């Protein structure tokens, strides 16, 4: 008996409708295995940056020097790996511009802001600020016409902002009455990180490997931070910070090596929308690291803020998935 001809939807008779979509979904699921593992690795690693900053702040490691040494050690470590693997950073004009843009947005501003804030705020509270990154990323992308309007994302952004207010306004949520100023400083890190997501997606040079990009970004940050450190802190050697300061700096440098590679590779493989889930992991890991290392306890208002931010983050990511699937906006 001859085989039945396919129907008008190119589905063989006897096959289940939608098999093509199911197959596409399974293929996409398999394609996301590596990005998911990298996302877990990067998120758990970066959650420790706030505790590393706290270690350095405890011994008064100068902030500008701290940022310079982190970028230099992380960049040199990746440069060695790149040299061994034949994967050195390209130095074209487009690459240099991207290195500088992301050095400012993804390294210098976040590290400086969180390092200054770590002197006055618990590490767990600073960690919560990162839940705002996906919402801010969506807002910036929408402003640049890279994303279309989605009510769920807007609602998520509003909930995240409400979470910040729950930390800033009640007197019981922060350690001192004037600590809200340092909360605003910490917010600079969230705004910069959101900007780095947009820049990484919009201006990535084609045919460039993630290791090379991560290395170039970190070395560019070190080059820019060197004169800043010399002007603000003088020729401060990392060894002068003592063992606790060295430990905090080395830990932060290792975190940047891992996280920046994961950031570039996940964005390349799965896009910025998928990478936005990184912030779920960072918040959970950051609170865990702070609890283990500093035995920090968070007040009721902070836990309420965390609930608002997590729900807001879920809404932002749900809206992003709807946009990626081409669903009609709410």
pLDDT per position as a tens digit, 26-55: 545 566 678 878 888 988 888 888 788 878
Q: What is the mean pLDDT of residues 251-266?
A: 92
Structure confidence at residue 319 (pLDDT): 64
* Of 1-15, 99-113, 175-189, 283-297, minimum mean pLDDT range: 1-15
On whether the CB atoms of residues 239 and 129 are closer than 8 A, the answer is: no
Q: Could you give the C-alpha distances from 154 to 70, 150, 203, 320, in angstroms and in order?
A: 35, 7, 25, 11
- Alpha carbon 23 to its chain centroid, in Å, reads 32
pLDDT at 2: 44
Average pLDDT on 83-93 reads 93
- Provide the 10 A C-beta neighbour count for residue 90: 16
Distances (CA, A) of 48 to 107, 109, 133, 160, 291: 15, 17, 17, 22, 11
Percent share of the chain, pLDDT over 90: 25
pLDDT value of position 162? 66
282 in Cβ contact with 123 (< 8 Å):
no
Contact 67, 111 (CB under 8 A): yes
Q: Which residues neighbour 174 within 8 Å (Cβ) at sequence distance 6 or greater?
A: 121, 125, 167, 168, 180, 183
CA angle in degrees (0–180, nearest 5) for 146-152-157: 75
Model confidence, pTM: 0.72
Rounded Cα distance between 46 and 66, Å, is 17
Alpha-carbon torsion (165, 169, 171, 174), positive or negative:
positive
């Amino acid at each position: 008996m001859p085989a039945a001809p396919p129907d008008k939807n190119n589905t063989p008779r006897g096959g289940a409708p939608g098999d093509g979509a199911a197959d596409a979904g399974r293929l996409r699921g398999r394609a996301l295995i590596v990005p998911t593992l990298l996302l877990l690795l990067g998120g758990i690693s970066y959650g420790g940056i706030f505790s590393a900053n706290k270690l350095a702040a405890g011994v008064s490691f100068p902030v500008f020097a701290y940022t310079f040494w982190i970028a230099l050690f992380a960049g040199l470590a990746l440069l060695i790996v790149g040299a061994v693997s034949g994967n050195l950073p390209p130095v074209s004009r487009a690459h240099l511009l991207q290195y500088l843009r992301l050095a400012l947005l993804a390294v210098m501003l976040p590290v400086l802001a969180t390092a200054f804030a770590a002197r006055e705020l618990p590490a767990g509270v600073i960690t919560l600020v990162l839940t705002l990154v996906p919402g801010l990323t969506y807002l910036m992308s929408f402003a640049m016409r890279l994303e279309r309007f989605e009510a769920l994302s807007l609602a998520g952004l509003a909930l995240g902002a409400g979470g910040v207010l729950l930390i800033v306004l009640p007197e019981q949520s922060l350690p001192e009455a004037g600590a809200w100023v340092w909360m605003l400083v910490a917010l600079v890190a969230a705004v910069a990180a959101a900007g780095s997501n947009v820049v990484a997606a919009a201006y990535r040079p084609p045919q460039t490997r993630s290791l090379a990009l991560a290395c170039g970004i970190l070395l560019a940050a070190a080059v820019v931070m060197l004169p800043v450190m010399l002007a603000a802190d003088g020729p401060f050697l990392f060894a002068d910070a003592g063992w606790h300061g060295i430990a905090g700096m080395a830990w932060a440098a290792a975190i940047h090596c891992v996280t920046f590679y994961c950031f570039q590779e996940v964005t390349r493989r799965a896009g910025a929308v998928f990478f936005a889930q990184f912030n779920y992991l960072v918040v959970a890991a950051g609170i865990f690291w702070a609890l283990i290392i500093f035995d920090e306890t968070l007040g009721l208002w902070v836990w309420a803020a965390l609930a608002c931010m997590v729900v807001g983050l879920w809404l932002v990511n749900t809206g992003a998935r709807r946009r990626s699937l081409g669903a009609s906006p709410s």
